[in-house]
Amino acid sequence: MATLGELQTIYDAEDLYDMAELLVIDQHNRYVAQRAADREARSRQ
């Protein structure tokens, strides 16, 4: 998302927290999608 140098020169703390939030949300969405796919696969067996 951003290098340490960019965080020190271009972005501020709020930007860092926004980036971290995006990473957490993306990981959660992947987890939810995988669980749904697993349930779908089990229901087809």
Mean pLDDT over 39-44 rounds to 96
Q: Identify the band that residue 45 occupies on the pLDDT scale cut at 50, 70 and 90.
A: confident
Type and span of the H or E element at 26: helix 13-43
Q: Could you tell me the pTM of the whole model?
A: 0.76
Alpha carbons 23 and 3: distance in angstroms, whole number = 15
pLDDT in tens, 4-40: 999 999 999 999 999 999 999 999 999 999 999 999 9
Q: Where are the domains of the chain?
A: 4-43
Alpha carbons 13 and 41: distance in angstroms, whole number = 42
